[in-house]
Amino acid sequence: MSRASSLARKVLPAGLFKRARTLKGTFLASRHAGARLYCPICDSSFDKFLSAGDPGRERDDVRCPRCDSLERHRLLWVFLQRETKFFSRPLRVLHFAPERCFEERISKLQNIHYVTADLDPSLVMMGIDITAIPFPDSSFDVILCSHVLEHVPDDFLAMRELHRVITRSGMAIIMVPTVGDITVEGSIGDTAAYRRQHFGQTDHLRLYGSDIRRRLEESGFEVDVVNYADHLEVDLVRRARLVMEHSWYDTCEPIFISTRTT
C-alpha cells in the first residue's frame, strides 16, 4: 500500500475509503487500457502495469491498475482457478490480511462463507491475533495467509493455530517472501533500518528460507511446495506478470499447500 493510500485509510471511514479505492482503480484502468498485459483477477487488459515496492527496490510494470494485484496474487488466483474447487464447492474460508484484489471478489462468491481477519480491525470483519484464533478446532476448509507470518513474533504458535482451526480435508494456503535455504531470525532489539536491510521491510521480523517447509511440518502440517509458474504456459506467465523479473527476494515465490496429518 502506498503512503497516500495508508494515510487515506487512517483518516477516511472504512466505507468511504473502499469506495475511493474502487474509483481510483476504475480511473487508472481506463488510463492504461490496452492489450499488452493481462490481469486474471479482475479479467482486464492494459498497456502497462504500475510500479510497486519500497523506494530503492521498486519493480516496474507489476501492479494491476484496476485491482492492485501483484505477481504473487495473480499466480495464486490462477492456481485457485485451475487446480482447486475454490470457486464451486461450499467452503468456509478464513483470510488473514486480505488483499483488496482478492477480498472484493471472494466476498461476492455465493459458495464461500468468508471471514476476513487482521490485527487492525478497521477494514476487516474481525480483529484477530493469528497466534490466538478465536474459533473452535476444525472451523475452516481453507485459510489464506499470504505475507503474514514474517510479521508475527511467534510464527510457530501462529502455524499451530492455523493447523488447529483447519479441517482434516481442508488446506492452509501460505505464501511468504523467501531467500535461499535458511530462515534468518531477528531479535526484539532490531532497529527498523536493520530489519529493512536484512529482512526487506521495516516491519518484517525474519527472512524465510525454503526451510519454512520444515517449520510448517513441525507444526503438524503435511506440506506440498508448489512452484506453480513452472507449470504454466510461458505466454501467460509473461503477459500476466506471474513471476518477479527482479526482486530483493526470490523471484519465483512458491505456494505452500499445508494440510492436516492428524
CATH code where residue 214 lies? 3.40.50.150
Please give the residue range of the domain that contains residue 24.
Answer: 3-260
Report the number of distinct structural domains present in the chain.
Answer: 1
Q: How many Cβ atoms from other residues are within 10 Å of residue 254's Cβ?
A: 22
Model pLDDT, residue 5 = 57
Model pLDDT, residue 249 = 81
Residue 52, φ and ψ in degrees, nearest 5: -155, 160
Model pLDDT, residue 68 = 94
C-alpha separations of 144 from 92, 95, 181, 224 in Å: 11, 5, 23, 15
The model's pTM is 0.89
Model pLDDT, residue 251 = 82
| Among 96, 105, 94, CA closest to 170 | 94
3-class state of residue 250 by DSSP: coil
Segments of the chain scoring below 50 in pLDDT: 2
Model pLDDT, residue 252 = 84
Model pLDDT, residue 202 = 87
Model pLDDT, residue 248 = 80
